[in-house]
Structure formats: structure tokens, C-alpha cells
Structure 1
Amino acid sequence: MPHNGFVSLVGAGPGDIDHVTLGALKALQTAQALLYDALVSEDILSLAPQRCVKICVGKRGDRLSVSQDKTNALMVRLAQKGLQVVRLKGGDPSVFGRVEEERLYLEQHGIDHKTLPGVTAASAAAAQFSFPLTHRGEARSVTFLTGRTKDGAIDLRHESLNDPMASLVFYMSSHNAAHIESSLLKAGRSKQTPVVIIENAGRPEGQMRTGALDDLARLVDHAAFSGPVLLGVGSAFGYARQTLVQRQVLPVATRSGMR
């Protein structure tokens, strides 16, 4: 049966509504069905119309959650009913977001779709705590690594591990901090390499701990964060600042108020 449904695979950013892109806002405002990740904030969800069907399909580590297969099938089922579907993913869909699995499934079932990028957690953290991800003369590249593979382990064979001019950012990896520390030291990284441990990057409640590589595991254990954690290793993270900047609220110009 022909259908006119459409799926938008949208990046919500790390959680703060200020990081939502204009493209994401437009998609949300016209959504008829919304499938969203567990870390998407209520402020962002409220951007969708009141009559929009909202279904949480998020995954949180080892907790009970909706399987990827069920999420894929639900996207197709809703689109086949002729609905404008938004699959709202935390951060950027293309950074550890399994977006290609969802695109392939949609294409296999003849569902039209598009992908809208979002602010990834590393970029949000860099802005929030005022450090660069690359820096002339000190950090010439940045590598994003996942802390969780299909079997729950972590793969630390990347060539940038022993490059002192490479910034390393580990997503979803606090449970593997000890392994990361020992592997990087074994690969030749200096014990004094700066590290940052950031919980809830980009959100108002974001927190950061700083230190050196040979103290990474202890710092993670001591912080005992319960939210999503990002680990940064490299000289660029030595510039991190514990900033407490109040959000600036700017007036919104309306057509009637424009001169």
C-alpha cells in the first residue's frame, strides 16, 4: 500500500535545549510521531506538538530498554501509516548513534528519510568548560572512541593512542577507566597527560573533574557519577576551566517588534 510517511533522524544535542539546531526545531514542530532517546530532556520534547505521539525508545547501558530491532520496526510501522516521524537521538546521530542501521532498515522497507545533525557531547563539553579539542602546536587531531562495543568491551588499538599530539575523547566509557588508563600508559602516553572527566556534558548540571592520566581510574571512581560520562585525554584538556556562567537570555524579536 502506498504511503506518504517520512522519517527524520534528528540529533537533539547533549540535552540542553540551547543546543538544538534550527533544523531539529523545525522537524520537531511538525512531528506527528516522536521516538526519542532516554537522555533527551523534557524541554526538548515539549517542542513537539501536544497531539504528537511520543514514545521513549532509549537505551541506558545495561538497564532494561527497547531493542534496536523494535525501534526500527516501529519507525516503519508509523511511517507506513502516513505519519511524519521524528527519530530523536541524543547528541549527533552519526557519532555512536547507530544511525546507519536505522537508515538501512528504512531503505529496505521503502521509507523516505533524511538525517539532521546535532551537537555531539565532545563539542558541547569543550564549549561548556572552555577547552579546545585541537590546539596549534599541541593537539593536531581529535579522535572519538566508544567505550562500549557489542560485547561491552573496549577496543584500544587505534594508532592515535600513543600520539602525544592527538586528543582522545571516550564516549560511554567510565566503567572502563582503569583499562583505558593502563592501555594508554602502556602505549607510551605520559603519566602527566591531562585528563578530564565530564558528566552530563552540555547540560546546566554538567560537572567536570580534572587530573593526570595516571590518576584517571581513581578520579572516575571518586566522582561516582550517575549520568553519562565523557573522558578526555590529551594536552588540549589541560586548558579546561571550571566556569560557572549563567545562561544569558536574549530577547526574541517578533515581526511586530521589529523596526
Structure 2
Amino acid sequence: MILNKTTKGFKEPKITLVGAGPGDPELITMKGANALKTADVVLYDALVNEALLNYASPDAIKIYVGKRSGAHSYSQAAVNKLMVDYAMNYGHVVRLKGGDPFVFGRGYEELDFALNYSIPTQVIPGLSSSISVPGLQQIPVTHRGLSESFWVVTGTTASGEMSSDLYEAVRTKATVVVLMGLNKIAEIVKLFQNEGKNKLPVACIQSGSMEDEKLAIGIVDTIEELVIEKNIKAPALLIFGEVVSLHPSFQPIKDFYRTLQEEQ
């Protein structure tokens, strides 16, 4: 039943899209945490740390609508409808999404759907894993003398294909951060090799900012083998670029290739 203004206890519908950050619950913004405190309903995704639900009232309804690649429990259309239905019936819905809602989070689709029903909406940005996860590992996505720009590219499109943007990105000197690309790592590595970038530094980070975080640091020619060796699984991101050489563990790799060149 949809409540109306004559219904006792009626609350005006409202939807807030909140970015939860990369995983560590302390990396949500203060504004995002405050929004959770006023939520009547929280719809949260698979990459959201459930510890964040502690910010919400014990009386708030909390619903998992997680979507992972290859194992979608809810279609986007179903999530959109749930979001609107709960707003109309219960009041303030916080749509809690991993990272930032507008960086491969389909946030605007949800915002647009809500606006079709004239429901007031608000967006609270979150720390995107594309920048924050490398940063936590002391890998800057830009650095004077090494990288003047960066690309953030999805490794796998909605159709399951590799993003065509990657073909352009690999030709640049920019840092290339690939999200959702672990299952395409062999194809992505091949693109860089075809451009003669076999020794370009690469990092692969699983579950960035979390206790179970895993890291592999290497070069284009070795990263696939290192990912297998360290048993890195999704969710993980890949960082291709000279900035990766700034990571402390890359120094032994530098020394190895310097020695190799001197011997030749």
C-alpha cells in the first residue's frame, strides 16, 4: 500500500544516493554517515562494508540489493523500482553504493528514475576506488614528470566485452586504472605488449582498503603470473603506468632490470 498525506505517520518521500567509499568503513564521508542516520530504509550493494549499516537507526529497514559481475541478485530495473516504492511507503531511502555513485555505479540511472516520480533526491559523493585505493598504497595517479593525466576505464562492459576505450588508453602516457578488468587481464596485457610497453610498471590490488587486501606489483610482462601466484580475485583493480614505480616494492624490480641491462 502506498501511503498518502492523510495516512498517520506519513513521511515525505526522499532518496539520497550515498557513496560508501572503497570498503574501509572509516572512509565514508561525514555527510554520507549523517544521511544514514536519518534513513528509514537503506538499500546497499555488494561492495558496501556492512559495518556502515551501524550508522543507521536500528529501526531502519536494511535491504541487500547486491550486484556482482556474473551473479546479479537484482536487476537494475528491480533496484530502481524498490528504491521508489520504499521512498513512497516509508520516507527517506538511502541508496548506499560502493565507491562513488557516478563512477561505474549507475548512479545517474537511479537518480533519473526517481526524478520521473518527482521524488526529491540528493547525491553525496564517495571516494572512488580508482583514486583512493592506489593512494592508500602510496601510488599517485598523477605525478610531475611521470604522468600528467589518468584514465579510469571499465575492463568489462555491460555486454561482457572489453571496453573499446582501452585501445585508446594504452596508446597514451597517462596512468590507466582499470576497474572490473581482472577477468580480462590477459587481453589487457596483450594490448600494452602490442604497444611495446612490456616493462611498464603495473599494480593489481584486491579488496583495497580492507583487511584482506592483496597486492601484486610487477610489469606488464609479469603481472598476469603474479596475480595467479598471489591468488588475487575480484574485486580488484589494475593500475598501469610509470607512477606504479613509486611504490616501495617496485625498487627491487628496477634494480633487477638495471643489472640486466648493464650485463648486456
Equivalent pair of 2:216/2:223 in contact (CA under 8 Å): no
How many residue pairs match? The answer is 240
- 1:105 maps to 2:113: yes
- 1:148 maps to 2:156: yes
Aligned partner (choices 191, 208, 233) of residue 215 of structure 2? 208
RMSD of aligned residue pairs (Cα, Å) = 1.6
User: Which residue number in structure 2 is paired with residue 245 of structure 1?
Assistant: none
Structure 1: runs of 5 or more not aligned:
243-259
User: Which residue number in structure 1 is paired with residue 231 of structure 2?
Assistant: 224
- 1:194 maps to 2:201: yes
Equivalent pair of 2:19/2:127 in contact (CA under 8 Å): yes
User: Which residue number in structure 1 is paired with residue 139 of structure 2?
Assistant: 131
What is the letter of the counterpart of residue 212 of structure 1? I
> In 1, Cα distance between the equivalents of 2:165 and 2:18?
31
**Superimposed CA distance per residue, residues 40-90 of structure 1 (whole angstroms, 9 cap, x where no aligned partner):** 112111111101000001111112411111100011101112511000000
> In 1, Cα distance between the equivalents of 2:135 and 2:157?
27
Equivalent pair of 1:190/1:213 in contact (CA under 8 Å): yes
The 3-state SS of whatever aligns with 1:237 is helix
> In 2, Cα distance between the equivalents of 1:4 and 1:82?
8
**Superimposed CA distance per residue, residues 115-168 of structure 1 (whole angstroms, 9 cap, x where no aligned partner):** 11001112222232111110101100010000121111112445332112x000
The 3-state SS of whatever aligns with 2:55 is coil
User: Which residue number in structure 1 is paired with residue 53 of structure 2?
Assistant: 45
TM-score by length of 1: 0.88
TM-score by length of 2: 0.86
Equivalent pair of 1:122/1:201 in contact (CA under 8 Å): no
Aligned partner (choices 20, 23, 28) of residue 31 of structure 2? 23
What is the letter of the counterpart of residue 110 of structure 1? S
Equivalent pair of 1:32/1:51 in contact (CA under 8 Å): yes
The 3-state SS of whatever aligns with 1:180 is helix
> In 1, Cα distance between the equivalents of 2:113 and 2:22?
25
Equivalent pair of 2:22/2:133 in contact (CA under 8 Å): no
- 1:171 maps to 2:186: no
- 1:9 maps to 2:47: no
What is the letter of the counterpart of residue 219 of structure 2? A
Structure 2: runs of 5 or more not aligned:
6-10, 250-264
- 1:81 maps to 2:89: yes
What is the letter of the counterpart of residue 163 of structure 1? T
The 3-state SS of whatever aligns with 2:170 is helix
What is the letter of the counterpart of residue 171 of structure 2? N
Q: Among the aligned pairs, what percent are the same residue?
A: 34
The 3-state SS of whatever aligns with 2:71 is coil
User: Which residue number in structure 2 is paired with residue 253 of structure 1?
Assistant: none
> In 2, Cα distance between the equivalents of 1:108 and 1:179?
40
Aligned partner (choices 162, 175, 178) of residue 171 of structure 2? 162
> In 2, Cα distance between the equivalents of 1:167 and 1:216?
16
> In 2, Cα distance between the equivalents of 1:87 and 1:203?
22
The 3-state SS of whatever aligns with 2:73 is coil
**Superimposed CA distance per residue, residues 96-115 of structure 1 (whole angstroms, 9 cap, x where no aligned partner):** 00011111111112111011
Instruction: State the Cα distance separating 1:215 from its structure 2 match.
Output: 1.9
